[in-house]
Amino acid sequence: MTSPKNTTDAETCPAQALLKSLSGKYKPEIFRLALEGPLRFSGLLRQLSGANKQSLSLALKAMEEDGLLERIVIQIKPLHIEYTLTEKGQSLIPVFKQLEHLG
């Protein structure tokens, strides 16, 4: 009998990895807002009820690490940062819309 490989959930179930990348307190709402165009941190703080700087920062960082959002530094004064959907994030739009429809 062979022993099971030591794999992560993401390797054994791509759907679970996808759902994890969109799960969390603010991630689904951030993703939905990103469908409308570039996001700015201060704007997100105003739009997300109950969000604070730390929780929003963690959600954005996780989505960036998952390859869903790209962080772009805009050098025009005043200097600011925008978040936009990556190619991977854009490829998930139909899946996200279907989840919204089912929900």
Beta strands in the chain (DSSP E): 39-40, 69-74, 80-85
User: What is the structure's pLDDT at 11?
Assistant: 60
Distance between CA atoms of residues 56 and 14, nearest Å: 25
Q: Show the domains of the chain with their CATH numbers.
A: 12-102 (1.10.10.10)
Helices (H) and strands (E) in the chain, counts: 7, 3
Dump pLDDT digits (tens) for 29-53. 999 999 999 999 999 999 999 999 9
What is the average pLDDT value for the chain, to the nearest integer? Answer: 86
pTM of the model: 0.81
